[in-house]
Structure 1
Amino acid sequence: MTSRLIKTVAATLATAALLTFPLSAFGAVHQPTLSEAAVSSVHAPRGALVSAVPIAQLTAAQLDAAAADFPGTPRASYGVTAYRLIYRTVDTLGRPTTASGIVVLPDGRRGALTVAEYLHGTNATKAYAASVDDTSTDRLVTALFAGQGLVGVAPDYVGLGLGPGRHPYIDTKTETSASADLLLATRTFAARHGVALKRDVLVTGFSQGGRASLAFGRALSRGEVGPFRLGEIRAVAGPYDLLGEELPAAFDGRVLPPTATFYLGYFVTAWNRTVGLYDDPREAFQAPYASTVDGLFDGSHTDEEVVASLPDSPEKLFTPEFAAKLQHPSGRFLRALRAADQVCRDWTPRVPVHLYSGTKDTDVVASNTDSCAESLHQRGADVTVHSMGAVDHFGTAFTAYPEIIRAYARRA
């Protein structure tokens, strides 16, 4: 595999990378400490704030400079300060744990402000999370919302950043709980800065975060997140239909084979812990990968290292029998996929939903968006599909986020 391909795959997969460019303005103010990473307690409630430290500060001019490669992004009205929060949440079994995330406040604004919560895409590396990586594009996107006068909020998710344990990839339950509990912690934190959070929350996300946006929006609409409710959803290139669209595309060539191998390796090892897909890795993976693949996704390896250690197609990674299981799910696996796909099927948003896709997306095929839109339409939802044209996965986000920032700026 060429270094160019490794970089291309990594840029597409890592931390919702819309573009890869230096964000030197995001100089670190504070580095993570062991005490922050290790904090845990079974006594504090979900959403309780454990710690908050400043990690970056940008002027409006610096924000504009950082956003120069995002054509159409409105000019910032405010400088911003980003903070890393550690807060109480729960793991896949509902047990108390901690997670990290960022909150970005517009400098000088006080009173009641609107939240824009951004949910990031696939990331297999703890150190790439927005709360610890000074070059994180997720941190930049969240800051661009704050530059418009919004409160930018972005969870790392459970098991990423400074969160203990491993990340339960494509796990609707913890994607939702981590997003909800960070919002509650943000309410406590913002009040210390003279900021109250308005009730209606603007939700957006890319790739994994696109589908997580639908799940988080569902929780907000059902009154499951304290006093907050859903204001709007703008989701970008999400794998909303795992069973009907994304899994088939991973095997029929619509998802590039090396990319499919990365996604499926992450997905299968994570779901084996939460759903149970095999008893012995040799049932699922061919040699020599059966002895190495699970460890590659423990959060300590970079995406580049993971990609370099995997074969270039799913057929070379999985045993024929397990590949057939992925293509023709049954039993517990089938039930889990159907439950995950309910993010677009078992609720009716009462606010506008905007879905963005690209026709050349070879990571998350555009038919995912069409499937989600059709399911929501059938339930009477107000859904608009925005095709960003002949762009790939990160190109879809590159072209969509200036529009989303502009739209949410009007709600500030």
Structure 2
Amino acid sequence: MRRIELNWIYRVLMILMIGGLIACSPEENGGEVPPPDKVDEGYFIEVTKTETLNKASLAGKLGLESTNPLLLILPEKQVKTEAIRYVSKDPAGKPLEVSGLITYPAEGACRGVVIGPHFTIGADRESPSAVMATVESMLALYGYAVAVPDYIGFGATVDLPQTYIHAESAGQVSCDLFFATREYLSLIKRPVERDAYVVGYSQGGYAALAFQQMAEQQYADKIKILRAFAGGGPYLPESIFDHFMQQDEVANPATILLTIVGADYADRLNLDYTKIFLEPVLSSYREWCVSKKYTLGEINHLLPSNRLSDWLHPDFFTDNHNEEIRKLKGSLTKNNLIDWVPRAPILLAHGTKDETVPFSNTQAAYDAFQQAGASVELHTSKFDHTSAAIPFYLLVLQALK
């Protein structure tokens, strides 16, 4: 295990800048692009919006300042970013038209595919296909085709509850987007192989491991994971939930609301919410959480307080949970992501001062994977949840340059 200190960030930054990170495609290097593996068809439906962006306009969509370390080391190139519709499955396994975003070099061959599941959002206007960019999209400046699912609950499926922290759903929409991306790029004569990296932070970190697990266990003959990069993810939902119940006052209470409503929909729990929420949340949770009108910060302000006991049923805080809470906790346990043996190497990263997702969660994932014999490394930083994203993405840029 390695521990990241703040000055490490700037050492890496200088190394990357000096090393010259303008990635070349095989064509630019004078090599030939090999024939692609067989492409699975029937996933891609249509492109709904297209934009051509340079580094500055891409950064502008993300609200990044020009002095951001991530921007200083990325090359000046143009990328195409396209919102697409594709076929996936709903939590019951039925076909569902969903949406996502593909960003790739405007010219030249693509180096490969990066699946980039996004961090937690609350409003549909924040979804990848609405913004037309995510942090992970910047890897397209290195020559990759970056595919980002909206997740069920956003974009084409905005009328459905978000399947928040649900392993099967996160894995399915990501695997199907990989197939749709390969299919679409083949149609426009920009073919890519079945190799894939996956990069995600926060909810995206959880979804990254969910994608890796499903790809390796169900689609090993169609998707070859090269490496996974997961930062600040809630890999043990039940453990985190219990931690917050004991703590009571939390930094980001909206995530608890999203977790409960998401589990109810995704695992078809049919919860009786009179045994879950107190007023005013009981009367308002659908408007706040399911309408997709509100950002995470706005939901936090709408909730009565950061103290969970002010709006969750008292049975959450006793040893004798009611039946509805027991169903919820069973769903959270089912969606833990550490009870398997990853085949591809994993880089985990987490801030030790994280109050949104406790660091102990990633430590437990690291310990479990290491004991199972997986290739896993853990990088730590002395930052909170938001600030720890910078050293994580610098590690990703260093690895994928």
The two structures have a TM-score, normalised by structure 1, of 0.79
2:350 is aligned, of 333, 336, 357, to 357
Whether contact under 8 Å (1:223, 1:229) holds in the other structure is: no
How far does residue 335 in structure 1 lie from its aligned partner after superposition? 3.5
Whether contact under 8 Å (1:240, 1:368) holds in the other structure is: yes
Aligned residues: 354
Question: Which stretches in structure 2 are left out of the alignment for 5+ residues?
Answer: 1-39
How far does residue 59 in structure 1 lie from its aligned partner after superposition? 2.4
Cα separation, 1, equivalents of 2:42 and 2:400: 25
List per-residue Cα deviations over 1:214-247 (Å, max 9, x = no partner).
Answer: 1111122235276221110010100011223x11
Structure 2 equivalent of residue 269 of structure 1: 261
SS in 2 for 1:344: coil
Structure 1 equivalent of residue 302 of structure 2: 309
Structure 2 equivalent of residue 133 of structure 1: 131
Structure 2 equivalent of residue 205 of structure 1: 200
Cα separation, 1, equivalents of 2:218 and 2:292: 36
Amino acid at match of 2:309: E
1:201-350 equivalences under 5 Å are: 201-224=196-219, 227-244=222-239, 246-253=240-247, 257-259=250-252, 261-275=253-267, 279-303=271-295, 304-312=297-305, 313-324=307-318, 332-341=327-336, 343-346=337-340, 348-350=341-343
1:78-157 equivalences under 5 Å are: 78-110=77-109, 113-133=111-131, 139-157=133-151
Whether contact under 8 Å (1:236, 1:397) holds in the other structure is: yes
Whether contact under 8 Å (2:119, 2:202) holds in the other structure is: yes
How far does residue 273 in structure 1 lie from its aligned partner after superposition? 2.8
List per-residue Cα deviations over 1:232-267 (Å, max 9, x = no partner).
Answer: 0010100011223x11332344x96251x2111111
How far does residue 177 in structure 1 lie from its aligned partner after superposition? 0.9
Distance 1:46 1:364, change over 3 A: farther
Distance 1:50 1:172, change over 3 A: same
Cα separation, 2, equivalents of 1:130 and 1:104: 11
2:50 is aligned, of 43, 55, 58, to 55
How far does residue 272 in structure 1 lie from its aligned partner after superposition? 2.3
How far does residue 190 in structure 1 lie from its aligned partner after superposition? 0.8
How far does residue 397 in structure 1 lie from its aligned partner after superposition? 1.1
Distance 1:256 1:153, change over 3 A: farther
Cα separation, 2, equivalents of 1:325 and 1:187: 50
Cα separation, 2, equivalents of 1:386 and 1:69: 24
Amino acid at match of 2:262: A
1:392 is aligned, of 377, 384, 399, to 384
Whether contact under 8 Å (1:49, 1:189) holds in the other structure is: yes
The two structures have a TM-score, normalised by structure 2, of 0.81
How far does residue 305 in structure 1 lie from its aligned partner after superposition? 3.6
More moved, 267-276 vs 391-400: 267-276
1:159 is aligned, of 153, 163, 178, to 153
Whether contact under 8 Å (1:63, 1:79) holds in the other structure is: no
Whether contact under 8 Å (1:268, 1:277) holds in the other structure is: no
Cα separation, 1, equivalents of 2:221 and 2:291: 31
How far does residue 334 in structure 1 lie from its aligned partner after superposition? 4.1
Cα separation, 1, equivalents of 2:348 and 2:172: 22
Distance 1:71 1:277, change over 3 A: same
Q: Note if 1:380 corresponds to 2:391.
A: no
Cα separation, 2, equivalents of 1:353 and 1:368: 15
List per-residue Cα deviations over 1:332-365 (Å, max 9, x = no partner).
Answer: 4443333211x2222x222211001001111001
How far does residue 60 in structure 1 lie from its aligned partner after superposition? 4.5
How far does residue 123 in structure 1 lie from its aligned partner after superposition? 1.6
SS in 1 for 2:192: strand
How far does residue 156 in structure 1 lie from its aligned partner after superposition? 0.5
Structure 2 equivalent of residue 30 of structure 1: none
Whether contact under 8 Å (2:172, 2:214) holds in the other structure is: no
Structure 2 equivalent of residue 18 of structure 1: none
List per-residue Cα deviations over 1:266-290 (Å, max 9, x = no partner).
Answer: 1112222344667432211112221
More moved, 119-128 vs 101-110: 119-128
Cα RMSD after superposing both structures: 2.6
Whether contact under 8 Å (1:360, 1:392) holds in the other structure is: yes
